Structure 1
Amino acid sequence: MSTAAAPAEGRLPSVVAAGWSRGVVETVMFFRERDAVVFTFAFPIILLGIFGSIFSGTLEGGPLTVSQLYTAGLIGAGVMSASFQNLGIGIAVDRDDGTLKRLAGTPLPRSAYFLGKIVNVLAVAVLEVAILLAVGVVAFDLTLPSAPGPWFTFAWVFLLGITGSALLGIAVSSLPRSARSATAVISMPFVVLQFISGVFIPVTQLPEWLINVSSLFPLKWMCQGFRSVFLGDAGAALELTGSYELDRVALVLAAWVAGGLVLCLTTFRWKSRRDG
């Protein structure tokens, strides 16, 4: 009995257990950075408050308000911010300060590092969505769905969107040359995407060529999916085709999951450029 128990006691933790432990560490480290926490959660709330207060009327005389439209769009932006932006910058910093290099020399499986990042991303994204929904309900009369169907739509849009955005964030983390440039290199395209993807400006008011550009990226389709959940049938008339096109939303987001995985496998680097 003693000889059989010995290997079990000395066995390394599973990848899932190691990834969960790493995720707890990542999340604790994130919440210890108070400036990052305040910016991550307060920034979309401030934007919602500003835009919701400035544009406080109804949409085309209908039952929906501009504030409700912004709430749905900022939820999509919040999900992408927690995944694409935070992951891209965080991994670039880990690479530049030698964290990735040190982890490669430990028994921690490389996949556990990414699982840990996913745990952190999910925690931040869920909390950010909850805060934005609370603000939308309390301050801007956003009505939450009462039927299970819209919440099912919310679940798959959230999961496909956050997965595709996270994989894209991992892939672009190799672009910055250093930790100092990571924020600028990764945040700039994300800010541009918000303006052309229906977060701040309704897609019906954009020129066709910008709509075509935004349609190539997941943020437009996440926002469209979330609008279907929180604006319902009344909001469908505000879409370009008069429909939320949920089948197309699912197809594009699933394509980004597959394409993001390919990009990660082909572009990700464990070492910084100065390490060769």
Structure 2
Amino acid sequence: MTDATRALPPRMPSIGRMLAAQITYQARLLAGGRAIIIGVGLPVLLLIASHGSRTDTEAAGVAGYATFGLTLTAWNTYGVRLVAARESGVLKRWRATPLPRWCYFLGRILATIVVAVLAGAATVAASMLLFHTKVSVGGALGALVVFTLGAFAWAATATALTALIPTTEAAAPTCMVTYFPVIIISGVFGSIHEPSWLATIARYLPAQPLIHALTTVLGNTTGGFRLPAHDILVLAAWTIAGLAVAIATFRWEPHRPTQKRPARTSPAD
């Protein structure tokens, strides 16, 4: 080895390899522990508990519980972990590495999409295995497309929301308060009696279009699939808006509490 060769700096991996490594790393972190128990176990348990009392093993019921598992992962688990990483200084340290910022940003979201899609698919698979729910090949492919777009919309919006959350302690309550009203009025746990204006609002939130699109593709047993245009456009709009707001407002540095300076005392005091 010559002196010139020895003096060369280490060669950086390609962008593709760095992005793939980041997706794998973040997916392993997200899929561990409570994320799997909550995102997969809870929807499946609710599906089993509801079987027999209602027709929740039909396409609409399966779609609702699958949406519940997907959104729990892509919104609550992901959002809380992202705020915790920022406030503990993890994001600040990642920012100082040679890894491009967009690569870390995109890798974390794509890893969340992978885990969230698996969480949603687990509910569909449980319904097929336990209750013999019929899902065609076209329906399965359509569900995969809808799961991916829905997870992207929820993860992108959760990323934007993290800019408003000041502390790790506030992350879980904020995510829950913004999450449960949306999924309840959207019919994740079944249809409810609601005013017409509230039903109209729900059609443009990211939960109900996801449920409706899943119900449509899972209920198609004729082969092939056709995605509802309105639902896809709403999910795409939330994805684009969430990414745009996140890019403009995303914080890498922990929030610093504002401290009031103590009042000065005069020599006489």
> TM over 0.5: same fold?
yes
Partner amino acid, structure 1, of 2:38: F
Alignment counterpart, residue 76 of structure 1, candidates 40, 54, 67? 67
Tell me whether 1:161 sits opposite 2:150 in the alignment: yes
1:271 deviates by 1.4
Is the Cα–Cα contact under 8 Å of residues 75 and 158 in structure 2 kept in the other structure? yes
1:4 deviates by 11
Higher helix share: 1
Distance in structure 2 (CA, Å) of the matches to 1:30 and 1:245: 29
Is the Cα–Cα contact under 8 Å of residues 89 and 183 in structure 1 kept in the other structure? yes
Distance in structure 1 (CA, Å) of the matches to 2:48 and 2:151: 24
Partner amino acid, structure 1, of 2:53: I
Matches within 5 A, 1:17-32: 17-32=17-32
1:85 deviates by 2.3
- Which digits, 9 at most, give the CA deviation of each residue in 1:45-80, with x for residues without a partner? 12222233432xxxxxxxxx3332221112223222
Q: CA RMSD in A?
A: 2.8
- Which digits, 9 at most, give the CA deviation of each residue in 1:91-148, with x for residues without a partner? 11111111011111111211221233134213312321332112111233311114x3
Distance in structure 2 (CA, Å) of the matches to 1:275 and 1:104: 21
Matches within 5 A, 1:1-276: 10-32=10-32, 34-55=33-54, 65-68=55-58, 69-146=60-137, 148=138, 150-202=139-191, 205-232=193-220, 246-274=228-256
Flag the 1:8–1:209 CA change in 2: closer, same or farther, 3 A. farther
Flag the 1:76–1:31 CA change in 2: closer, same or farther, 3 A. closer
Structure 1: unaligned runs, 5 residues or longer? 56-64, 235-243
Distance in structure 2 (CA, Å) of the matches to 1:218 and 1:5: 55
TM-score (structure 1 length as normaliser): 0.80
Distance in structure 2 (CA, Å) of the matches to 1:160 and 1:8: 44
Structure 2: unaligned runs, 5 residues or longer? 259-269
Flag the 1:30–1:152 CA change in 2: closer, same or farther, 3 A. closer
Is the Cα–Cα contact under 8 Å of residues 84 and 169 in structure 1 kept in the other structure? yes
Larger Rg computed on CA atoms: 2
Distance in structure 2 (CA, Å) of the matches to 1:21 and 1:182: 27
TM-score (structure 2 length as normaliser): 0.82
1:275 deviates by 7.2
Flag the 1:99–1:23 CA change in 2: closer, same or farther, 3 A. same
